[in-house]
Structure 1
Amino acid sequence: MRTFRPIITIGFILLVLLIPISGHAESAKTYEVSTGVLNVRSEPSLNANTLGILTKGNQVQVFQEQYGWVQTYYQGKEAWIAKHHLIPLDESQVSQVKQATVLSIETITITADGVNIRSGPGEEYPVIGSASSGKTYELIHTEGSWHKVSLKGGKTGWVASKLTNKNAVNNSGNSEKPKVNAKTLSPTKQSGSLSDRHIVLDPGHGGRDPGAIGLGGIYEKSLTPPIANRVADRLRNAGANVTITREGDYYVSLEQRAAISNSHDTDAFISLHFNAYPILSAQGISTFYYSRPGQQLAKSVQASLYSNVTLYNRGIKREDYHVLRNTAAPAILIELGFITNPHDLNIIQTVDYEQQVAEAITSGLIDYFK
């Protein structure tokens, strides 16, 4: 029986030419980016360093292909892009301006030893780690005088900006406004496109409830919070108010999850999960709903997921899940891939995938509310 278990602050947006080496120019082909966010990497591998980000509609010249990756040039150096997110163009479709807008990934550097990394933006939050002087982190978001940074394993943490090379407090002592998240920008983003919308995100399982158990003994409960945080960042950047039903590894009952949503003037409830099945070949993304408003929300979000991510599209289906049945707002439950499938699991555990899912859900919500 199948088991169903219930993104970099913009400091600067740089126009960076993807400059080909002159000896290769005649053999270059032009492609257009078809996905919301596409990483430019140093090597043809998901594990390679990210050099920059392309967005949907950008055009790029490529010179060779290797194992599903195409090679271009970034700041005069060799770089690689996943080919399945590119559409080949003929000469009539190629833009007159041979350049693409690349969003640089902003980082911060720790400037003191023994700096505490906390679970939230304040000294009252628990310490979850520490960092020494010179350590560099990817910057996700700035809130007041605290920076949210990306940690290993898809986790996030907060560090005081005064202990980094980018202090969020200006000379007058007033905090600057939070910066916009570069990884959450896309051609579909409009300022305030989800303004006044309240979205509840529900990372499935937690605490004594591990959820599905995947290959290598990985727990579903450990995968849902990081992706929920990434989605939350993207939604907030689009103007939405976001509530997350759990922020750590602790148990929250199904009744409590629904009650959290019902206690707010919620516009949409989204429960995030990963799937499992005894047969390894089972794969893909599916979205479940219970009510008719949930059905429309499921259609919009699933269609956006299909357009933004590479996993198999399993479609939408009506199910009598507790959190869907007992939530007053339009509600959906998304199974974001099978952690018992090697292909799905390999993709699921990447920052790229988190970014793509965040973009897809945000775009799906924008379409739904239109």
Structure 2
Amino acid sequence: MNVRRLPNTGAPKLGSINEKFTAVILRTSNNNWAEIQFSKTQKGWISLNTSSTVVTTKKPIQVSDPIDNVLAGYKIVLDAGHGGTDPGAIGKDLKGKKVTEAELTLASAKAIQKAIEDVGGTVSMTRSTTAALNSNKTKDLAARAASSAKVGANAFISIHYNSASSSAEGLEALYYQTSSKKFATVIQKNIMKAVNQKYPNVKDRGPKHQNVMVLRENTVFATLIELGFVSNAKELSRINTDTYRQTVAEGVVNGLIEYYKK
């Protein structure tokens, strides 16, 4: 039986177990999947729609080599938008706490980085600290776009958060080059699938064509994902959580796996 990162058959596979495997059931989903302690360090989901696997509340056993390196050989550039003296959009959550887009994008990039690396992919971060790439905005954006060719990447994903009215909501994926439309569409679809399983009714704003420098000047499949609105206090309170970031990361990984037909 396959153990997956999310409670659905399209999620990345972490490994497999046999009928002699025993594990602690941590929680169950409404579609009859169970989250189990797969190893000392990993949790995963198995379907309960079968009798081939015995799952109990006994002490979990160690599973050797649980990770399926499905994205091995693929290098992805993750671009955490803004940084340095550019905070990006700024909003306040339901508790009145001020949150900047720059801090959100960096936290999200790190979560996505881990999720990709967990399934064997290689990640190059345009920034892994609070600093920008250049104090000059045009040069900063140019450096981000150029990073794909510099590191020999297969794809580029820029991470951002939106701002508009206090009622604006939802997620979208932008693309510029026609060749990147399918890539953006697949990434958006899988992010929304993961997010809606955890947070029903989050609005899907779909993939959109837009003239953005980091996409226009890129040399590989490229998308800019807008993961929610900081101007919406309710949405900001949800998106500024580790659970949300990890859910998005699962969606990105699922999208990469689907796009590269792994």
TM-score with structure 2 length normalisation? 0.74
Structure 1 residue 99 displacement after superposition: 3.8
Give distance in 2, aligned partners of 1:355 and 1:95: 30
Post-superposition Cα deviations, 1:329-366, rounded to whole Å, max 9, x if no partner, equal 01000000011112211211111111111111011011
Post-superposition Cα deviations, 1:309-334, rounded to whole Å, max 9, x if no partner, equal 03321101000100000010010000
CA contact (8 A) 2:124 2:151 kept: no
CA contact (8 A) 1:285 1:315 kept: yes
1:226 is aligned to 2:87 = no
Structure 2 gap ranges (5+): 1-20, 134-139
Structure 2 counterpart of 1:336, from 221, 227, 234: 227
Give distance in 1, aligned partners of 2:219 and 2:210: 16
CA contact (8 A) 2:228 2:239 kept: yes
Structure 1 gap ranges (5+): 1-12, 20-28, 41-51, 60-92, 105-178
* SS of structure 1 residue aligned to 2:90: coil
Structure 2 counterpart of 1:191, from 44, 64, 68: 68
Aligned letter for 2:144? Answer: R
TM-score with structure 1 length normalisation? 0.53
Fraction of identical pairs, as percent: 33
Post-superposition Cα deviations, 1:120-162, rounded to whole Å, max 9, x if no partner, equal xxxxxxxxxxxxxxxxxxxxxxxxxxxxxxxxxxxxxxxxxxx
Q: Which structure has the larger Rg over C-alpha atoms?
A: 1
CA contact (8 A) 2:26 2:36 kept: no
* SS of structure 1 residue aligned to 2:243: helix
Structure 2 counterpart of 1:235, from 113, 116, 125: 116
* Residues matched between the structures, number: 219
Structure 1 counterpart of 2:250, from 350, 355, 359: 359
Structure 1 residue 283 displacement after superposition: 0.4
CA contact (8 A) 1:54 1:100 kept: no
After TM superposition, list the pairs within 5 Å mapping 1:123-134 onto structure 2.
none
1:316 is aligned to 2:210 = no
Q: Which has the higher strand share?
A: 1
Structure 2 counterpart of 1:302, from 188, 200, 204: 188
After TM superposition, list the pairs within 5 Å mapping 1:94-133 onto structure 2.
95=51, 99=55
Aligned letter for 2:88? Answer: G
Instruction: From the superposition, tell whether residues 291 and 14 of structure 1 become closer, same or farther in structure 2 (CA, over 3 Å).
Output: farther
After TM superposition, list the pairs within 5 Å mapping 1:46-61 onto structure 2.
53=43, 55=45, 57-59=46-48
Most deviating of 198-207 and 216-225: 216-225
Moved over 3 A (4+): 37-40, 93-102
Structure 2 counterpart of 1:16, from 7, 24, 28: 24
Aligned twin of 2:17: none
